[in-house]
Amino acid sequence: MQNFSNKNVLLCVTGGIAAYKSAEIIRLFKKDEADVRVVMTESAKEFITPLTLQAVSGNEIHDSLLDIKAESAMGHIELAKWADLILIAPCTADSMSKIVYGRADDLMGALILASNAEIFIAPAMNMNMWLDKTTQENYKTLLSRGFSFIGPAEGEQACGDVGPGRMVEPIKIIELIKSALNQGPLSGKTITITAGPTREQIDPVRFISNNSSGKMGYAMASAAVEAGAIVNLISGPVTLLADKSVNLYKVNSADEMLEMSIKYMEDADVFIGCAAVSDYKSMDISDIKIKKEAADGLNIHLKKNKDILSTIAAKYPSAYHVGFAAETNNVDFNAKEKLVSKKVDMIISNDVSNTAIGFDVDDNEVNVITNKESIFLKKDKKIRIAREILNIISMKINKK
């Protein structure tokens, strides 16, 4: 089951006795590598202090819609865009009612209206309040709008009543969110992804390579795991850490990458060639270090490497094949040429001459090109671009 690596989690804490459990929720999210920010309603502060949640989350608490200082650091609209998922825990009957009617008179209400993130609600209230006809109508309305509910659980409550209304325990909340996220559009699919540069040795200490950091390929792997896929990541030499749920295989040369790609495409449904593979390799690799004193100049005779993307496309025609085209000029024209020449289903083009979206940065801006359309994905974090690309791929392969 996937963890929350690369996930931005927005926890909204409302004013119920179960608010004290929000510190444990934060701890569990962070243990699973999530970045957690906290929004507190005014009534929540009566049950747990902002300082406590700030200490646990490591981030400043957000509690006011009209806080000039907070807006200058990360405005509420930016915070809404930042979140990958929103959890309201505990969520009171009053908060449910406000969400139903689209109330935006506090920060939480405004964020929910402004965000496209998946929203989970963990209710916590007296059993009679939960079973009340109005609350049940609000519950059904929110379900119909796509909100996901976790609980409430049954048991003894703070007031002494026994029945439904308790907030689900933090560890169970985390498990249920994971389970929901694992039911992604690529569940049951196996995806093989290449990432990073390759190295072609000249002698034992020198090699031909390129500037790829592997960040886009690793983001694609993380996004594929989030979408529910089994992921094989074949990586050239990089300094990145892969998602713990990824099957990682490290290689150096283009020949090694091709060999591993063939091996792990035997049972795969999708191939994504994101690696910056060296086009050429040295015809003669010296067994010993070439001394610079040996000659005034050094001539290296090169030969072409086998093209991994076109080889895989030809060998596994039933799979869905996606390539990346890192270009410096005539970007989309060259990408469309690559789509045709390599006989693949999709090419992702990006302009690496733009240093803001080129090699070794965290942002990207791409065109997703198929035989029938071109979809522009504006500049964003690579993990978000990767998620959008995987959503497009999932729609394509699920139509087959």
Q: Is residue 38 part of a domain?
A: yes
Residues 280 and 390 both lie in one domain:
yes
- Kindly report, residue by residue over 333-383, the tens digit of the pLDDT: 888 999 999 999 999 998 888 877 777 788 899 999 999 899 999 988 899
Residue 72 pLDDT: 58
C-alpha distances (whole Å) from 331 to each of 324, 341, 369 are 11, 15, 11
Q: Is residue 256 part of a domain?
A: yes
Residues 207 and 166 both lie in one domain:
no
Residue 294 pLDDT: 60
End position of a domain, from candidates 155, 182, 209: 182
Residues 127 and 34 both lie in one domain:
yes
End-to-end CA distance of the chain: 27
Residues 174 and 200 both lie in one domain:
no
Q: Is residue 1 part of a domain?
A: no
Helix (H) or strand (E) holding 232: strand 230-235
Residues 259 and 394 both lie in one domain:
yes
End position of a domain, from candidates 124, 149, 182: 182
Residues 44 and 64 both lie in one domain:
yes
Q: Is residue 258 part of a domain?
A: yes
Q: For 21, which DSSP code?
A: G
**Both structure tokens of 352:** 């690496």
Task: Tell me the residue range of the domain where 209 lies.
Answer: 190-399
Residues 208 and 313 both lie in one domain:
yes
Residues 96 and 214 both lie in one domain:
no
Altogether, the residues listed in the chain come to a count of: 400
Structurally, how many domains does the chain consist of?
2
Residue 392 pLDDT: 95
Q: How far apart are CA 148 and CA 216, in angstroms?
A: 30
Q: Is residue 2 part of a domain?
A: no
Residues 147 and 199 both lie in one domain:
no
Q: Is residue 147 part of a domain?
A: yes
The CATH number linked to 146 is 3.40.50.1950
Residues 166 and 35 both lie in one domain:
yes
The CATH number linked to 332 is 3.40.50.10300
- Kindly report, residue by residue over 129-157, the tens digit of the pLDDT: 999 999 999 999 999 999 999 999 887 76
Residue 296 pLDDT: 67
Q: Is residue 302 part of a domain?
A: yes
Count of alpha carbons within 13 angstroms of residue 326, beta-carbon side: 26
Residue 164 pLDDT: 86
Q: How far apart are CA 270 and CA 395, in angstroms?
A: 13
Q: Could you list the active site residues? A: 159
Write phi, then psi, for 147 (nearest 5 degrees).
-70, 145
Residues 204 and 294 both lie in one domain:
yes
Q: Is residue 3 part of a domain?
A: no
Q: How far apart are CA 35 and CA 58, in angstroms?
A: 9
Q: How far apart are CA 296 and CA 341, in angstroms?
A: 41
Residues 168 and 206 both lie in one domain:
no
End position of a domain, from candidates 152, 182, 212: 182
Q: How many helices (H) and strands (E) are present in the chain, helices listed first? A: 14, 19
Task: Please list the pLDDT of the chain residue by residue as tens digits (400 residues).
Answer: 467 877 899 999 999 999 999 999 999 999 988 999 999 999 999 999 999 999 999 999 998 877 666 555 556 788 888 999 999 999 999 999 999 999 988 999 999 999 989 999 999 999 999 999 999 999 999 999 999 999 998 877 666 677 788 999 999 999 999 888 777 889 889 999 999 999 999 888 889 998 889 999 999 999 998 888 999 999 999 999 888 889 999 999 999 999 999 999 999 999 999 999 998 888 888 888 888 766 567 788 889 999 999 999 999 999 999 999 888 888 888 889 999 999 999 999 988 888 777 777 888 999 999 998 999 999 888 999 999 999 999 998 877 5
